[in-house]
Structure 1
Amino acid sequence: MRVLFCSSEAFPFSKTGGLADMALFLPKSLRNLNHDVRIITPYYKSIAKYHKDMKMLGSATIKFGGIETIVHYYELTHQGIPYIFVQNMHYFERDQFYGYNDDAERFACFSYAILEGLRVFDFYPNILHLNDWQTGMVPYLLDAHYRHKNDQYFSIHTLLTIHNLEYQGSFDPYVSRFFNTDFNYTYIHFDRVNFLKAGIERATRVNTVSPTYKNEVLTPEYGFSLDGALQKRANDFEGILNGIDTEVFDPMTDHYLSHPFELKTSREGKILNKIDILHHFDLDV
C-alpha cells in the first residue's frame, strides 16, 4: 500500500505538539509492515539547517484565488522514511509555524502543493493521510480539480485524522476564493470558511485519536459546533487509539518509572506509578 502522510509538522524537523510525533511514529510503523509511506510537510525556516542533506525533486506552479506562486520539493530520508519538504519562502520562511494573519493562504498553498506534488515526484498513493485543519482542504480540492482530469488521481482515497477538534481553520468568507470553485456550502460553517469542515465532509474516511474522544466530539458539549457534521459521517468515522514508539519511550525500560510495565500489565503499572506520584507530592491517594 502507498501512503502519503500529510502534516503541517513532523518530528524531528518541526514540532509544536503531538501531531509531529505521530507524523514520525505512524509512518515508521507502517513502513515496518512493508508499506510505502512518505511524509510531506512544509519547509519551515528552522528546517534550513538540514538543507545540505536534501535532494531536490522538482518544482510546481500553484494558482489559487488569483495568486500564483512557485513551490519547490526537497527530500530527505530519516529513519528510513522519505520526508518531502514543500519550500516557498514567502509562506514558510518564518519564525513560527502558525499564528499569522495569512494562515489560510499559507495552508491553502500547502494543500495545493500536496496534490501538485504527486505529479512532480511521481508518487500516486492509495491513501492521502491528512491531519487537522491545515490539510482539510485537500479532499475538496482533489474532488473539484484533480480526480476527473487524471486517472492516477481518480482512485486516491483520503483519510482525515482529527487530533484536536477545537482548532478548525475558521476564516473570513473571502477565503472561499482559495478553493477555485463556485461558492459551496461544503466549506461554510456559521458564515465562515472552515477548512476542517471541508475535510470532514469530503474525506473518504474520518478518524480521531481514541474511541473515547470520538464519542465526545459527537456531542454538543465537546463537538465545538462540528458534532452535526461528524454525526453525518458516523458510518465513516472511527476512533483509533494512538500508539507509542517504544524506541522513543518504552515503559519497560524507562528509568523514570518506579514501576515498569508492559502491555499486559499496563493498567496495574499505571495505577502504581500514579500512587507514587501522589505520595511524592503529598496528595491524597
Structure 2
Amino acid sequence: MVATASGEVLASYTWPAGSTIDVSVFGSGGPLIAVGVLPHANEPLGSAFAATVPFVDTPGRIALVGPIDPPPPEHRFALPTDPVRYVAGGYLQPLPDQAEFAHCANPSAPAQHRAAELRARLKELGPDALLLLHNDIGAIGPYLYANRHWRGVSDHLRGDLADAFPRRPKLAAAWTTTLDDNTYAYFPAKRIGVAGTECAGLHIERELGIPTLTVELPMFHWDHADHTRRTVAEAVGRWIARGATHGGDTDRLVCEVIAAVGTRQVPMVPAEISARVVWAVLAGLHEDLSAGG
C-alpha cells in the first residue's frame, strides 16, 4: 500500500504475513465495527481494504480482525491474478473443514477451533457489528448476506459504486432467499450439506449478539461475457461440492476454466475498487448503527 504525492491512498492485494487472528483498532468515537479479513482461504480481496485503513479518516472505529482462515503458504496464487491462475493456485478445504461453516458450542476439529478462536476475539472486542469480507468469482457487482435489511448499506451500495459496477447483480439462489435487491439471507449450514456446525453469520449473531453481515466482492471484470462467467462459476461450485482442494480434482477444474475462458482476457477487479466497496458498506453501516439500527 502506497500513497501518491497528493496524499491519495492506493490499495493493493496481499497475503497475510502470519496466521494468528489479530485485532487492530483504528479511529475514535462512534460505533465500533469489526471487519473480518480472509474468512475463506482463497478469498484475499479484503486485503485491499485493510491496507487503506491506517491512512484513512475512518467513520467511527474500525477493528481489523484476521486472517480468519489463511491458506498454507504454498497455496497462495500471485496477486493480481486471473481466473485460470486463481483456480490452479488456490486452496480451499471441503465445506465442513472451512472455519466459515464450523461454528459450534463444543469444538473438536481444527476448523471448529479456528471458528472458536474468532468468536473469542470478537467477544473480547465487543463490536457493535461484524462485517465479513468475502469474494465471488462470478459476480458482476457487490452484494450482501445478512440476517436483516440494512437500509443505509443498501443505499450506499447502489449510490456510491455505479461507476465501478454499471450492472447490478440480480440475486437468486436455490439455497436461500433475498432480504432486498442487494441482500441474501444467511442460511443454515445444513442446507449445503454441513452437519453439526453452523455458518458464521447465523452463529455469531445468535450466540454473541453481534449484528453480522457479509459483503461479497467481485473478483474479476467479466465485461459482458456472461456465458463464460457463469460457466466458470458453476465449475468452481462443482469443484467445491466434490471436496475442493482435498478430492475435488483441481486438474479437472483448471481444464474446465481454460476451456471456458479461451483467449479472453479477464482482469481482476482493481484493488482500489475493492477497497471502495468496503468503505461504501462501512459508510452505510455507520449510518444504520448511529441511527439505532
Q: Which has the larger radius of gyration?
A: 1
The one of the two structures with greater contact order (alpha-carbon pairs below 8 A, sep at least 6) is 2
Q: Where is the strand percentage greater, Structure 1 or Structure 2?
A: 1
